[in-house]
Amino acid sequence: MTNKLKSIAYQPPGQFEETRYEKIHNVIFDNSVDGSKIVANEIATLIKAKQQQNELCVLGLATGSSPIKVYEELVRQHKEEGLSFENVVTFNLDEYYPMAPESIHSYHYFMHQHLFNHIDIKPENIHIPNGKIPKSKLIEYCIDYDRQITAYGGLDFQLLGIGRTGHIGFNEPGSHINSGTRFITLDPLTRSDAAPGFLGIDNVPRAAITMGIKTILQSKRIVLLAWGNAKAPIIKRTIEGPMTSEVPATYLQKHPNTTFVLDEEASMDLTRIKTPWLVKDCQWHNDLIKKSVVWLSEQTGKSILKLTEKDYNAHGMSGLMAQEGDPYDINIRVFNQIQHTITGWPGGKPHADDTSRPEREKPYKKRVLIFSPHPDDDVISMGGTLDRLVQQGHEVHVVYQTSGSIAVSDEQALKYANVILQYEPDNQDLKKIIRDLQTKEKPYEDTLPVRNLKATIRRQEAVSALKYLNVPLSQIHFLNMPFYETGAIKKKPLSPADVDLVQNIITKVKPHQIFAAGDLADPHGTHKVCLDAILKSVDQLKTEDFMKHCRVWLYRGAWHEWDVPQIDMAVPMSPDQVLRKRKAVFYHETQKDGVMFQGNDPREFWVRAEDRNHQTAEKYHRLGLADYEAIEAFKRYHF
Ligand code: F6R
């Protein structure tokens, strides 16, 4: 389905093969980089067309994580291709209230940092709601914001993100379709999503000024961006659900020229992606059959082997019956496929027939390379499997890709610094670190010595956890990939130096198995960059002899989990093994109790990971497979 969409990539609404479930034109890209480039191109084309006609181009702009890559591409086109913004006028969607424009939390700051400081837009053409307007003048100020947009002839193009509440701009649930720019109280979910950036929910403003729904709907063209699986449920409700003030983004169903630009993860819950057999006739291939049978089992509450022809027909799968015939054959085939993913021998079982096992028997003692983006993803996501691999005699290497220093709080760093100071009262370097920490101006920006201390703390935590799991010190590697070492949340793009580090360690260890994080929902995108470096390295090394015998397995777990049909290897854990894994995670003390980067899930990492491992086991059991305490899941990456 996605491939087909790619070929019609960005046709305007109207020319799109809509499904009966969808009320908004949307296109799906493999990833946010490709999607962002297309959107940036549309904006650039519009700006240039207006230039040729000597007209102003009036853009409505959004902040947040979604549009960042669009702005990066526009800046690149300005710097490298001479795209000029001299004829551009911008109106931003919103600003927190109260909020000083100079604050690093302001949308004013965001827009300058990501776009305005790097292009030739005239400062007088930039409009961002002012979070410092006195309350007594707010109503007048908001009316005037809309008046200014109208005076420019309205917005030519409006860029939007979407909140998990279904907000566009800060039009939270309850917003009226006729609303203009106004003061609004933020939804608790929106505030909790913003909390990591503000060092806790208590610091997040309770209100904002937002452009209204009516103002947005008057734009001539609207493009909404959504990336990542956290947006999947709200994207489905917005595109397929009824138009309702409970999900203000559904008002976009009324707009004749709106496109949603999605990545695969954000589109995951759309009916035509999740259950295409409900939408149209399908080409039934093996993966789709597996996916649909698992779905059918979940829908009916029956285990796979109990599914009947009636169940298939009643759930839009008669086409599969027509193609494959006997439902019982399908049931057995899918059941066996899932059964064969289960193994207590993640490195292969010695002296066993391995024709239908996820891993080869030989060589029995394998060299295993486990990549961990941060120092803790290894044990959080595959602690049970790591433990087994060591116990079963494999040579397990763990490679920490980034230092993870930014996620150590200042309080933790000060605690350690003060402990050392008790023993070394004259240590001037340490005193400087303490001074730096106590006098720091920007919350997430650390000096190099402070970063080093924080990195050392995380390194020690990782070493202690692996010592507990009996991994020798000589098999623990810290890459400190340079893209991460900015001292701030914003990271540098992946560089050849990063890829070289990864490639070198692969070449040195010559692994039979590589485990890597395929978990792309982390809040700052670090896992994605780390995976890109591994996949690039693997691609560059694929002709090497040792790589021909290497299998790559992707784990998830810190942020989300593979769905059952995606799993190629399921490693069960006993209750005791779950406890060992928990203890290993506990060694990462700085990442326990009120961690700095919690993401959307308020639970601690070990609770989330355990919960996901239990859930996978329960799902297997409900399908009719054995009843395990917990399961860690892996998907094979074919290169
Ligand atoms: C930002 C804005 C919001 C965001 C939305 C999604 O100006 O108006 O509606 O677009 O909250 O935020 P991200 O992109 O951070 O997921």
Cβ–ligand 1 distance for 94 under 6 Å, the answer: yes
| 422 domain-assigned | no
| 351 domain-assigned | no
Query: In terms of Cα–Cα distance, which of 486, 498, 521, 553 is closest to 32?
Result: 521
In this structure, are 93 and 52 located in the same domain? yes
Cβ–ligand 1 distance for 35 under 6 Å, the answer: no
In this structure, are 299 and 246 located in the same domain? no
Residue tagged active-site, from 22, 73, 172, 265:
172
pLDDT in tens, 564-591: 999 999 999 999 999 999 999 999 999 8
| 341 domain-assigned | no
In this structure, are 280 and 203 located in the same domain? no
In this structure, are 310 and 380 located in the same domain? no
In this structure, are 297 and 399 located in the same domain? no
In this structure, are 259 and 301 located in the same domain? no
Best substitution site from 97, 170, 247 to test ligand 1's pocket, by max atoms within 8 Å of Cβ? 170
Task: For CA atoms 21, 37, 524, 468, give the dihedral sign.
Answer: positive
In this structure, are 207 and 312 located in the same domain? no
CATH number reported for the structural domain that contains residue 495 in this entry? 3.40.50.10320
Q: What's the pTM value of the predicted model, to 2 decimals?
A: 0.83
Closest residue CA from atom 9 of ligand 1: 169
| 104 domain-assigned | yes
| 39 domain-assigned | yes
Is residue 452 classed exposed, middle or buried when 0-12, 13-18 and 19+ CB atoms within 10 A define those classes? middle
In this structure, are 158 and 252 located in the same domain? yes
| 631 domain-assigned | yes
Quote the ligand 1 centre to 528 CA distance (angstroms). Answer: 21
Closest residue CA from atom 1 of ligand 1: 63
In this structure, are 266 and 279 located in the same domain? no
Which residue is listed with tokens 């551009």? 88
Those residues of the chain that have pLDDT short of 50 are 1-9, 15
CATH number reported for the structural domain that contains residue 37 in this entry? 3.40.50.1360
Adjacency order of strands within the sheet including 513-517: 476-478, 395-400, 367-372, 513-517, 551-555, 630-637, 569-573
Range of the domain at 38: 3-272
To the query of whether residue 42 is one of the catalytic residues in this protein, the response is no
pLDDT at 558: 65
In this structure, are 288 and 190 located in the same domain? no
What amino acid occupies position 82? G
CB 60 within 8 Å of CB 150: no
Cβ–ligand 1 distance for 400 under 6 Å, the answer: no
pLDDT at 174: 97
In this structure, are 319 and 189 located in the same domain? no
In this structure, are 256 and 300 located in the same domain? no
